[in-house]
Amino acid sequence: MKKVYVVLSSHGSFDSHYKKVECVCTNPIFAEGKKVEIENKYREEVPFPFDWCTEQEFLDLPAVTDEDSEIYYKWWLENNQREEFNCCLIQEVDFYE
């Protein structure tokens, strides 16, 4: 019997709560390092992608280019995931060969 370590991240709450498998490994030290890396990633502040306007000013624009729209929604998704992040944990699982 071997042990594997599943690094999970928890997001959302109530009906929208979900857990995501970030990685599976056999080394507990690597798993702990990955956990810290993931926590830092989700806690890192993501600045608004445009320096020529604020988010509200961008949303109030009557028309935007497809490229600007894609950049904004990519930023919005990353920012939303960061806000929905709860914690990261390591689950030890027995693995039978």
Q: What is the pLDDT of residue 75?
A: 96
- One-letter identity of residue 6: V
pLDDT tens track, the chain, 97 positions: 899 999 999 999 989 999 999 999 999 999 999 999 999 999 998 899 999 999 999 999 999 999 999 999 999 999 998 999 999 999 999 988 7
Using alpha carbons, list the distances in angstroms from residue 53 to 14, 30, 32, 45, 57.
35, 41, 39, 18, 6
The answer to whether 94 touches 3, Cβ cutoff 8 Å, is yes
| pTM for the whole structure | 0.75
